């Protein structure tokens, strides 16, 4: 298959990773008439439940990966912590989109930060390596120490707010490769989901404003309640990053907005993003359908916002008093509920999300906070 040819409905999309992003991708793909195969180490995964085929094998099993890829017209990944080296084998048998090098760059914080720096994208000052104390001296306090590999949702992060925190940081990360970032006292966080097709068409979804609690996304608010110049800067950065990294697929771009209105890139994710889930209910095209369109070389869909909306993550914590009160939530006329079919409701685990639409973003947020507070009973 040449890069210019569209992969039409009826063909098979392979997804590496079987979590909720893979599940919602599979749902969008099957609606368009594609077949979906999921590759995931753990059996009974959320994506496998809605796919045509589920293969359970380790990511390091090159023979299993190759056999899986041979059945697929295109393979994509739903999270960036799929180890990159074994994936090289896939490129020998079928299309891997986004390209292997995009995954390799973005799954390691050091490489990602260097890429941003070398390509002139604005980011927080940083140091990298295994000498934690030297890195902290170079960046200055306050700063945030992050493991270079396999970090997301604040996992493997430590804030150094004063000099007194330095020994604990050194102890926690002793010998590990880390990135040390200047602590940004941001005004707010926003994100962009950008799609780019093999033919280099680019679409950026409306910018979301994100509120995190304990490092995990809590609310995404659209439209973001920021100045038009901030929206324009965020959209431009997302577009330029997609072009520069030669993206084919979808990418989440997390951004900090400083108190002076500067927009800095925090993190890139070469896949759909939690802060784009609202697109399922309040946008002409969802980010998952856009991912299908982009990796299959179809025309990208319109990214028109249909209504102001707030997305709320439902974490395992909502089960603290037993089964959440779904009936109260579902009784609301402006709510749509998405559950990922996961069995174990552990605190901090993403179990589902709901969206709330309203006349404006403030009102949607007010409803969302109220509904969320009632969910756990
Ligand atoms: P990350 O896993 O890098 O996306 O970090 C998760 C969350 O931690 C971010 O969304 C921010 O809320 C916070 N955070 C991460 N890095 C910084 C930083 N350099 N300055 C301030 N807050 C940060």
151 lines ligand 1 (CB under 6 A): yes
Is residue 153 pLDDT above 70, yes or no? Answer: no
80 lines ligand 1 (CB under 6 A): no
- Name the more confident of 246 and 5: 246
Q: Is 259 helix (H, G, I), strand (E, B) or coil?
A: coil
Domains of the chain, start order: 12-96 (3.40.50.20), 125-182 (3.30.1490.20), 188-375 (3.30.470.20)
Contact criterion met (CB below 8 Å) for 263 and 122:
yes
183 lines ligand 1 (CB under 6 A): yes
Within 10 angstroms of residue 67's Cβ, the number of other Cβ atoms is 14
How far apart, in whole angstroms, are the C-alpha atoms of residue 269 and residue 210?
15
Nearest to 197, CA basis, from 294, 312, 71: 294
Q: How far is CA 319 from the centre of its chain?
A: 24
Contact criterion met (CB below 8 Å) for 27 and 341:
no
Q: How many CA atoms lie within 13 A of 299 on its CB side?
A: 3
Tell me the per-residue pLDDT of 265-277, one tens digit each, with 9 for 90 and over. 999 999 999 999 9
- Return the residue matching tokens 């912590």: 81
pLDDT value, residue 151: 59
- Residue 3, by phi and psi: left (phi above 0), alpha (psi -120 to 50) or beta? alpha
pLDDT value, residue 347: 94
Average pLDDT (270-285) is 98
Query: How far, in Å, is the centroid of ligand 1 from the Cα of 252?
Result: 15
Q: How confident is the model at residue 83 (pLDDT cuts 50, 70, 90)?
A: confident
Mean pLDDT over each residue of the chain, to the nearest integer: 95
Q: How confident is the model at residue 1 (pLDDT cuts 50, 70, 90)?
A: very low
Work out which ligand 1 atom sits closest to the CA atom of 185: 21
Q: How confident is the model at residue 154 (pLDDT cuts 50, 70, 90)?
A: low
Q: Whose CA is nearest to atom 8 of ligand 1?
A: 215
Average pLDDT (8-35) is 98
- What pTM was estimated for this model as a whole? 0.96
How far apart, in whole angstroms, are the C-alpha atoms of residue 313 and residue 191?
16
Is residue 363 pLDDT above 90, yes or no? Answer: yes
Q: How confident is the model at residue 2 (pLDDT cuts 50, 70, 90)?
A: very low
Is residue 352 pLDDT above 90, yes or no? Answer: yes
- Residue 240, by phi and psi: left (phi above 0), alpha (psi -120 to 50) or beta? alpha
Work out which ligand 1 atom sits closest to the CA atom of 143: 19
pLDDT value, residue 115: 98
116 lines ligand 1 (CB under 6 A): no
Is residue 82 pLDDT above 90, yes or no? Answer: no
Query: Most distant CA pair in the chain: distance in Å?
Result: 60
Is residue 61 pLDDT above 60, yes or no? Answer: yes
Tell me the per-residue pLDDT of 197-219, one tens digit each, with 9 for 90 and over. 999 999 999 999 999 999 999 99
Residues of the chain with pLDDT > 70: what percent? 98
Tell me the per-residue pLDDT of 299-315, one tens digit each, with 9 for 90 and over. 999 999 999 999 999 99
Nearest to 72, CA basis, from 37, 24, 98: 37
Q: Is 158 helix (H, G, I), strand (E, B) or coil?
A: strand
Residues of the chain with pLDDT > 90: what percent? 92
Q: How confident is the model at residue 85 (pLDDT cuts 50, 70, 90)?
A: confident
Q: Whose CA is nearest to atom 13 of ligand 1?
A: 215
């Amino acid at each position: 298959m040449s890069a210019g040819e569209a992969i039409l409905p009826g063909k098979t999309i392979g997804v590496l990773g079987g979590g909720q992003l893979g599940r919602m991708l599979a749902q969008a793909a099957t609606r368009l008439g594609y077949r979906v195969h999921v590759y995931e180490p753990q059996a009974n995964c959320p994506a496998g439940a809605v796919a045509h085929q589920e293969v359970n094998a380790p990511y390091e099993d090159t023979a299993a990966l190759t056999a899986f890829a041979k059945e697929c017209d295109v393979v994509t990944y739903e999270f960036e912590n799929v180890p990159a080296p074994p994936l090289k084998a896939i490129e020998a048998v079928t299309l891997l989109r986004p390209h292997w090098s995009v995954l390799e760059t973005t799954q390691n914080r050091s490489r990602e930060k260097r890429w941003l720096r070398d390509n002139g994208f604005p980011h927080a000052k940083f140091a990298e390596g295994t000498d934690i104390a030297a890195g902290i001296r170079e960046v200055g306090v306050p700063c945030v120490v992050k493991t270079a590999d396999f970090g997301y949702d604040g996992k493997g992060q430590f804030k150094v707010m004063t000099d007194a925190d330095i020994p604990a940081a050194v102890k926690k990360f002793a010998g590990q490769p880390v990135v040390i970032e200047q602590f940004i006292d941001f005004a707010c966080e926003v994100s962009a989901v950008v799609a780019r097709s093999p033919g280099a068409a680019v679409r950026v979804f409306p910018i979301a404003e994100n509120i995190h609690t304990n490092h995990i996304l809590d609310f995404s608010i659209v439209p973001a309640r920021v100045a038009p110049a901030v929206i324009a800067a965020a959209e431009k950065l997302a577009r330029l990053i997609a072009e520069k990294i030669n993206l084919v697929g979808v990418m989440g771009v997390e951004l900090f907005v400083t108190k002076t209105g500067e927009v800095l890139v925090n993190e890139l994710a070469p896949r759909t993003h939690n802060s784009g889930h609202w697109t399922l209910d309040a946008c002409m095209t969802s980010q998952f359908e856009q991912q299908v369109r982009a990796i299959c070389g179809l025309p990208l869909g319109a990214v028109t916002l249909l209504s102001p909306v707030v997305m709320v993550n439902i974490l395992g914590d909502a089960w603290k008093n037993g089964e959440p009160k779904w009936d109260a939530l579902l009784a609301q006329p402006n709510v749509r509920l998405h559950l990922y079919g996961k069995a174990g409701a552990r605190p901090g685990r993403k179990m589902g999300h709901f969206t709330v639409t309203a006349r404006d973003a403030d009102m949607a947020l007010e409803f969302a906070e109220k509904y969320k507070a009632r969910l756990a009973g």
